[in-house]
């Protein structure tokens, strides 16, 4: 994962690799500083294969640290900036990290956890040693530690929605191949520009940002999410390709219904979406709001990287599908009996490719449970494939509602509700029912300045789904809980469920 930084550090040393606010960092500087950091870290006593954590929001140093640790053969352990001290205590202990780089504004998230670490650096020097001083003191020599393609580049921890987070071992091979595929498909490469929008601690947010300088292009950093700032950066950076999650698109629409009319987005060629399902109604708005821009919708997971891609040629005609298997991927849809299902039949989706994790850190049971006998790994979703091979995600397997013994997939209902014009966001879950086991409940956020009439919405849904799928409860809420990658936290909604709303909003 350091090879591209080395390559363009030599070939185009004066070209800008990363822009972070007022800072413009050239490839030559990124290559040299990452070598200094790598040498200094090894000279301090950390050994190849040992681990160093990173706790920061999006910023230039994420690129530098990642390249440096790749040169040193040291896997990084990115920490979620929203983690509390307890969360970080678990990850640091489980990963056995020996060092950490901390943004000072997040130092309270590791309070009492860093005293026994071998190396502690912070950007402003408030915790441990001053980062820039440490880098400057390092030798400007690339240590070029031999790294096997199957060595871990990073250990990324899952969100832990079903228990303790698991450490996903992601290899240099998988990350490099993903970057090359992204460059080929979504327009990254020499002299191409993008923006780091999604959180870089997250697998996709990091990969799609770092791939830009790795492939000889430039990346402008958006430090924290702000739809107006994103649109401004699209103009000033002349960004040609940008990765977003559906929540970003929702927020841009709330801020500006017609961005192409208000901003000079003539440089923008590609938008690609991942991390959560892009509702069809929202996708239709994206296509209309960014005319002439190629829209890709990809699907995957932290463990599997990109699994499928719906290309721009099919963006509208196949809206609701996630397309065909992406480069290097083989896909299986498996029924409850363990056999592959036929076209139109729902099955658990498994993928096999050189992009896969090598396993979960120190968790052989979870690793074995994820793989089948032939090396296919479960992505955790139920999907269907049509006669032409287009794959559509029915829903997360764990989110399926069982009412009276009948399987109900929330995503189908959510798609219908999202098409009702006053609706901005929606989540459908199963809640306890004494008679049927579970009943369907919908949690709806209205668009700014619009009133959602539950009676009208209920009638609209009844026209488009079978009667047994119509929500029996309607909850109007101000917002839905999401993780930093944009996925709705349905477990949080279930945990906070307090019973049906007033009778007038129950059917």
Over the Cα atoms of the chain, what is R_g?
A: 23
- Determine the angle formed by the axes of helices 27-43 and 61-72, rounding to 10 degrees: 50
Which H/E stretch holds residue 410?
Answer: helix 410-418
DSSP labels, 426-459: EEEEEEEETTTEEEEEEEEEEPTT----HHHHHH
pLDDT digits (tens, 9 = 90+) for 155-185: 999 865 446 889 999 999 999 999 999 999 9
Region label for 96, one of left (φ > 0), alpha (ψ between -120 and 50) or beta (otherwise): left
Give the range among 205-214, 309-318, 400-409 with minimum mean pLDDT. 400-409
Structure tokens at 441: 């409940």
Query: CATH number of the domain at 1-10+25-171+199-204, please?
Result: 3.40.50.980
Percent of the chain topping pLDDT 90: 78
Structure tokens at 300: 């995957």
- The CATH label, of 3.40.50.720, 3.30.300.30, 3.90.870.10, 3.90.1150.10, for the domain at 401-505 is 3.30.300.30
Q: Please list the alpha-helical segments (H only) found in 14-158.
A: 27-43, 61-72, 85-95, 131-137
In this predicted structure, what is the pLDDT of residue 105?
Answer: 97
In this predicted structure, what is the pLDDT of residue 163?
Answer: 62
Give CA separation, 198 vs 240, 272, 490, in Å.
16, 12, 21
Q: Say if CB 411 and CB 393 are below 8 A apart.
A: yes
Which H/E stretch holds residue 491?
Answer: helix 490-495
Read off the pTM: 0.84
Q: Say if CB 269 and CB 223 are below 8 A apart.
A: no
Give the range among 128-132, 198-202, 269-273 with minimum mean pLDDT. 198-202
For 106, which DSSP code? Answer: G
- Which residues have a Cβ under 8 Å from the Cβ of 159 and sit 6 or more positions away? 165, 483, 485, 487
DSSP labels, 259-316: HHHHS--TT--EEEE-SS---HHHHHHHHHHSTT-EEEEEEEETTTEEEEEE-GGGTT
**Hey, is 339 helix, strand or coil?**
coil
Q: What value does the mean pLDDT take over residues 380-405?
A: 83
Q: What is the β-pairing status of strands 305-310 and 294-301?
A: antiparallel
State how far Cα 139 lies from the chain centre.
35
Partners of 385 in the beta sheet? 391
**Hey, is 156 helix, strand or coil?**
strand
pLDDT digits (tens, 9 = 90+) for 368-383: 999 999 999 998 888 9
pLDDT digits (tens, 9 = 90+) for 271-301: 999 877 788 888 999 999 999 999 999 999 9
Q: What is the 3-state secondary structure (H, E, C) of 459-473?
A: HHHHCCCCHHHCCCE
Residue ranges of domains in the chain: 1-10+25-171+199-204, 401-505
Query: Residue 485 — very low, low, confident or very high, per pLDDT cuts 50/70/90?
Result: low
Cα–Cα dist 305/204, whole Å: 8
């Amino acid at each position: 994962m350091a090879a591209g930084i080395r390559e363009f550090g030599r070939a185009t040393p004066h070209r800008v690799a990363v822009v972070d606010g007022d800072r413009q960092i050239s490839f030559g500087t990124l290559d040299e500083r990452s070598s200094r950091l790598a040498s200094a870290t090894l000279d301090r006593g950390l050994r190849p294969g040992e681990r160093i954590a990173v706790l920061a929001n999006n910023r230039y140093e994420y690129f530098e640290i990642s390249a440096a640790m790749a040169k040193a053969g040291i896997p990084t352990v990115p920490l979620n900036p929203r983690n509390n001290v307890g969360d970080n205590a678990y990850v640091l202990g489980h990963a056995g990290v020996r060092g950490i780089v901390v943004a000072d504004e997040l130092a309270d998230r590791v309070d009492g956890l860093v005293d026994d670490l071998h190396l502690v650096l912070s950007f402003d020097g408030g915790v441990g040693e001053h980062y820039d001083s440490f880098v400057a003191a390092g030798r400007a020599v690339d240590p070029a530690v031999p790294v096997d393609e199957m060595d871990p580049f990073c250990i990324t921890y899952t969100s832990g929605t079903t228990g303790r987070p698991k450490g996903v071992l992601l290899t240099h091979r998988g990350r490099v191949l993903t970057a090359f595929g992204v460059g080929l498909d979504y327009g990254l490469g020499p002299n191409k520009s993008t923006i780091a929008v999604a959180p870089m601690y997250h697998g996709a947010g990091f990969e799609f940002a770092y791939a830009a300088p790795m492939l000889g292009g430039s990346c402008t950093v958006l430090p924290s999410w702000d739809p107006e700032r994103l649109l401004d950066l699209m103009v000033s950076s002349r960004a040609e390709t940008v990765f977003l999650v559906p929540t970003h698109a929702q927020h841009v629409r709330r801020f500006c219904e017609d961005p192409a009319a208000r901003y000079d987005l003539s440089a923008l060629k590609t938008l690609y979406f991942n991390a959560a399902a892009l509702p069809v109604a929202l996708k239709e708005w994206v296509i209309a709001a960014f005319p002439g821009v190629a829209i890709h919708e990809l699907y995957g997971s932290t463990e599997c990287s990109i699994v499928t891609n719906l290309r721009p040629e099919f963006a509208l005609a196949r809206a609701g599908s996630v397309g065909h298997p992406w480069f290097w991927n083989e896909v299986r849809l498996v029924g409850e009996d363990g056999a592959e299902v036929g076209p139109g039949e729902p099955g658990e989706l498994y993928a096999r490719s050189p992009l896969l994790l090598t396993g979960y850190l120190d968790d052989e049971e979870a690793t074995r449970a994820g793989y089948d006998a032939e090396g296919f790994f479960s992505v955790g979703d139920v999907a269907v494939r049509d006669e032409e091979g287009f794959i559509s995600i029915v829903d997360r397997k764990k989110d399926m509602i069982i009412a009276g013994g009948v399987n109900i997939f929330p995503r189908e209902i959510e798609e219908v509700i999202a098409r009702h014009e006053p609706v901005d966001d929606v989540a459908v879950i199963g809640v306890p029912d004494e008679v049927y086991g579970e009943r369907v409940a919908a949690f709806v956020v209205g668009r700014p300045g619009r009133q959602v009439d539950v009676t009208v919405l209920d009638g609209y849904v009844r026209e488009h789904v079978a009667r047994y799928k119509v929500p029996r409860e309607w909850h109007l809420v101000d917002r839905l809980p999401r993780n930093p990658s944009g996925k709705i936290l349905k477990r949080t909604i279930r945990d906070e469920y307090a019973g049906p709303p007033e009778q007038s909003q129950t059917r």
